[in-house]
Structure 1
Amino acid sequence: MKSLGNIRRSFAPWADPASKPFISFRNVTKKFGDFTAVDDLSLDIYHREFFALLGASGCGKSTLLRMLAGFEQPTSGEIVLDGADMTGMPPYRRPVNMMFQSYALFPHMTVEKNIAFGLKQDGMPKDEIADRVGQLLKLVKLEKFATRRPNQLSGGQRQRVALARSLAKRPKVLLLDEPLGALDKKLREETQFELMDLQQNLGLTFVVVTHDQEEAMTMADRIAVMSHGKVVQVATPAEIYEAPNCRFVADFIGDVNIFDGKVKAGGNGVVEIAVEGGPTLRTATSDTPASGSSVGFAIRPEKIRVTRAAPANASVNAARGELWDIAYLGDMTVFHVKLAGGNVIKASSLNAQRAVEDPFTYDQEVWVSFDEDAGVLLKD
């Protein structure tokens, strides 16, 4: 499939048939008694990739990360890292390190001693430890805080100490389990970009577990959306958002309107869908379903126009309704429009101008409309 949306960097080894995965989960299953946390899962991650495991609580993403770290062993299947089978290998022998959500810093140690702890355990010479710690303090911009203890640092600073300690032994893969969950919103957003820059500068493979969609969309080269121990879709953030492969992904990622209907007609890359209590939909598709089959149609709020006047072609992808709710959010305004058949459509509009002349009001009659290529057909 053609790449969608903006691309942060020219990096797509998964699209090159000659590229070999750096990490492979091969038919991995993990059971805890009668409960299956990970269900016959196969997944490839590439060298220098920033990869995100995204899903709701209990979907199996943290269990997958812990199996890669060696804290859990698969019930069946195998995990291969850089050509080596990790089956049965203890955590301390694996070329990975994990940064936990709680940071797990030693409260009685200074910043530099926290970072140096693992290196001392490995018996590295003191002068080499000092050099390595100095490099890492500079990398995470904490040179002035080297002699402080964790309780003398802010949440963002403690997060950086934990990151530096995770990188001290120069792992091939850094695993991050909800790494920004303890930070406030503004600091979390700043740290996301810092992690991206750091990952690219170091040239390491990062695998992050998160339930925060925005976090995954911001940082990751690719995202694996998980549900009930399985991977539902693996793709770039833009492809996940613009071209979800099923109803679950469309509904899980961001805001979306989903209509259920039956195929009226199709051909030449376009299909028409009849929606009970809603507009007739016409959408572009590369795979036309059979006439009369039940399908879903997903469209994002920002793809929908809200106007006072009817569009030029009001017979398809357009409907008249009543403004039910209006939410002014500063950068955008969100509208809930109730159609004559009872369906409610969510639309959003960017507030590009500082002042709004003749604003929309509650209970006002409006039209909603969108283009043929604005939504995506869902077959399940």
Structure 2
Amino acid sequence: MKSLGSIRRDFAPWSDPQAKPYIRFENVTKRFGDFTAVNNLSLSIYEREFFALLGASGCGKSTLLRMLAGFEEPTSGKILLDGQDLRGIPPYRRPVNMMFQSYALFPHMSVEKNIAFGLKQEGMSKADIDRRVAEMLKLVKLERFASRKPHQLSGGQRQRVALARSVAKRPKVLLLDEPLGALDKKLREETQFELMDLQQELGLTFVVVTHDQEEAMTMADRIAIMDKGEVMQVATPAEIYEAPNSRFVAGFVGNVNLFEGSVAERTENSARITGGSGAQILVENAGEAAKGNDVAFAIRPEKIRISSRKPQDAVNALEGEVYDIAYLGDMTVYYVKLDDGQIVRASMLNAARIVDDPLTWSDRAWISFRPDAGVVLTR
């Protein structure tokens, strides 16, 4: 079995034409005066999915989340949850809960009282509240901190209290707006996996808004890349990375090299692309590109080999000069200035501690790559 990237779990309802979306945005537009925050957007999210809305500031992702939560109403279009139109339903009557970046914990309340607050508002009995709070404390591993106030906790612990409070009411959907933004890098990485495990254990649908690519790639089953109020691509993390559908998506997620040119020859699966300087690139993932089309060949840095001599077995090889080097510990990144002036980024895993005849600044070097190492983009 071959797969485009690693598969984390056997969960892909979006691939089943019979599966019904749990959350559905239908031609949703949201305007604030003359500014269009969300533009005629349609999107499907499935039950038990961990879904990420990823994009730069101002792309409309938080507005989309706020409309789902009920804090904003669409200017036009419909939002459906489990088949029910949410228009006109206030936030407190929607089967969703939202966890904010600031966590919004009550500073004068203990951890257990913070978690119990929403349950008391719903009129749950004291015995049931005590049982649910104990269950939530165990779930987020904070039993020992039940009587502490928020200021007595670390950032990661406060984040878990906010999460426990959000899921205590057993919402159908949990909305997370930049949930890990306040944490340091190491703690953020650890918490990503905790969130994934928690989502699996609870069986809830999670929708997370983030501008952090690594966060979305780590946690989400699928990602929607957004720009200027529109969805540019919806796919699994591996598909987004290995098969972007446009120059924008390829450049937004991870690092990429784009070779611009036109299709000189086209067969059923492969194509030969000629660049402006006359350089020839043979590719196998040519998609819908037709002969004569102006295209870009997108290839990730780790798919490129770099060497001091031209590899004899290389189908695609270009010569240049080492322009810059970044040693990152686990890998070394080389910037090679090709003879036509384009700078190409190539990364090599530092699998060995000692390197024989290493490349350095101003050395002549060859970059090479397989025909199936990248994709052809027509837009």
State TM-score, norm by structure 1. Answer: 0.98
Deviation at 1:309, TM superposition (A): 1.4
State how far apart, in whole Å, the 2-side matches of 1:287 and 1:150 are.
53
Aligned to 1:190: 190
1:328 paired with 2:327, answer yes
**Deviation by residue 1:98-132 (Cα, 9 ceiling, x = unmatched):** 00000000000000000000001111100100000
SS in 1 for 2:244: coil
Deviation at 1:247, TM superposition (A): 0.7
Question: Do the aligned residues in 1 keep the contact of 2:199 with 2:206 (CA within 8 Å)?
Answer: yes
Question: Do the aligned residues in 1 keep the contact of 2:286 with 2:375 (CA within 8 Å)?
Answer: no
Question: Do the aligned residues in 1 keep the contact of 2:332 with 2:350 (CA within 8 Å)?
Answer: yes
Aligned to 1:51: 51
Task: Name the count of aligned residue pairs.
Answer: 378
Question: Do the aligned residues in 2 keep the contact of 1:277 with 1:340 (CA within 8 Å)?
Answer: no
State how far apart, in whole Å, the 1-side matches of 2:289 and 2:22 are.
38
Question: Do the aligned residues in 2 keep the contact of 1:28 with 1:77 (CA within 8 Å)?
Answer: yes
**Deviation by residue 1:313-350 (Cα, 9 ceiling, x = unmatched):** 56x52111111111100000000001111111100000
State how far apart, in whole Å, the 1-side matches of 2:289 and 2:45 are.
33
Aligned to 1:114: 114
State how far apart, in whole Å, the 1-side matches of 2:219 and 2:356 are.
37
SS in 1 for 2:63: helix
State how far apart, in whole Å, the 1-side matches of 2:285 and 2:323 are.
32
SS in 2 for 1:241: helix
Aligned to 1:201: 201
Q: Which letter maps to 1:231?
A: V
Aligned to 1:101: 101
SS in 1 for 2:164: helix
Deviation at 1:263, TM superposition (A): 1.1
1:127 paired with 2:127, answer yes
Coordinate RMSD, CA, aligned: 1.1
State how far apart, in whole Å, the 1-side matches of 2:287 and 2:277 are.
26
- Kindly tell me: are residues 133 and 377 of structure 1, through their superposed partners in 2, closer, same or farther at Cα, counting changes over 3 Å? same
Deviation at 1:358, TM superposition (A): 2.3
SS in 1 for 2:123: coil
Q: Which letter maps to 1:176?
A: L
Aligned to 2:36: 36
Q: Which letter maps to 2:352?
A: Q
Aligned to 1:345: 344
Structure-to-structure mapping, 1:157-168, within 5 angstroms: 157-168=157-168
State how far apart, in whole Å, the 2-side matches of 1:280 and 1:156 are.
51
SS in 2 for 1:338: strand
- Between 356-365 and 230-239, report the one with greater CA deviation: 356-365
State how far apart, in whole Å, the 1-side matches of 2:182 and 2:323 are.
37
Aligned to 2:213: 213
SS in 1 for 2:188: helix
Structure-to-structure mapping, 1:221-370, within 5 angstroms: 221-277=221-277, 279-285=279-285, 287-312=287-312, 316-370=315-369
**Deviation by residue 1:212-232 (Cα, 9 ceiling, x = unmatched):** 000000000000000000001
State how far apart, in whole Å, the 2-side matches of 1:96 and 1:191 are.
22
State how far apart, in whole Å, the 2-side matches of 1:30 and 1:288 are.
33
Q: Which letter maps to 2:19?
A: S
Deviation at 1:262, TM superposition (A): 1.1
State how far apart, in whole Å, the 2-side matches of 1:181 and 1:271 are.
43
Question: Do the aligned residues in 2 keep the contact of 1:279 with 1:317 (CA within 8 Å)?
Answer: no
Deviation at 1:136, TM superposition (A): 0.1
Question: Do the aligned residues in 2 keep the contact of 1:271 with 1:288 (CA within 8 Å)?
Answer: no
Deviation at 1:276, TM superposition (A): 1.8
Structure-to-structure mapping, 1:7-86, within 5 angstroms: 7-86=7-86
SS in 1 for 2:162: helix
Deviation at 1:278, TM superposition (A): 6.6
- Between 263-272 and 365-374, report the one with greater CA deviation: 263-272
State how far apart, in whole Å, the 2-side matches of 1:179 and 1:313 are.
48
Question: Do the aligned residues in 1 keep the contact of 2:285 with 2:374 (CA within 8 Å)?
Answer: no
- Between 304-313 and 248-257, report the one with greater CA deviation: 304-313
Q: State, as a whole percentage, how many aligned pairs show the same letter.
A: 71
State how far apart, in whole Å, the 2-side matches of 1:288 and 1:69 are.
39
Deviation at 1:38, TM superposition (A): 0.3
State TM-score, norm by structure 2. Answer: 0.98
Q: Which runs of 5+ in 1 are unaligned?
A: none
State how far apart, in whole Å, the 2-side matches of 1:356 and 1:126 are.
66
**Deviation by residue 1:59-100 (Cα, 9 ceiling, x = unmatched):** 000000000000000000010001111011000000000000
Deviation at 1:360, TM superposition (A): 1.3
Deviation at 1:310, TM superposition (A): 0.7
State how far apart, in whole Å, the 2-side matches of 1:357 and 1:371 are.
24
State how far apart, in whole Å, the 1-side matches of 2:166 and 2:199 are.
13
SS in 2 for 1:135: helix
SS in 2 for 1:207: strand
Aligned to 1:141: 141
State how far apart, in whole Å, the 2-side matches of 1:145 and 1:278 are.
66
**Deviation by residue 1:163-220 (Cα, 9 ceiling, x = unmatched):** 0000010000000000000000000000000000000011000000000000000000
Question: Do the aligned residues in 1 keep the contact of 2:287 with 2:376 (CA within 8 Å)?
Answer: no
State how far apart, in whole Å, the 2-side matches of 1:269 and 1:44 are.
31
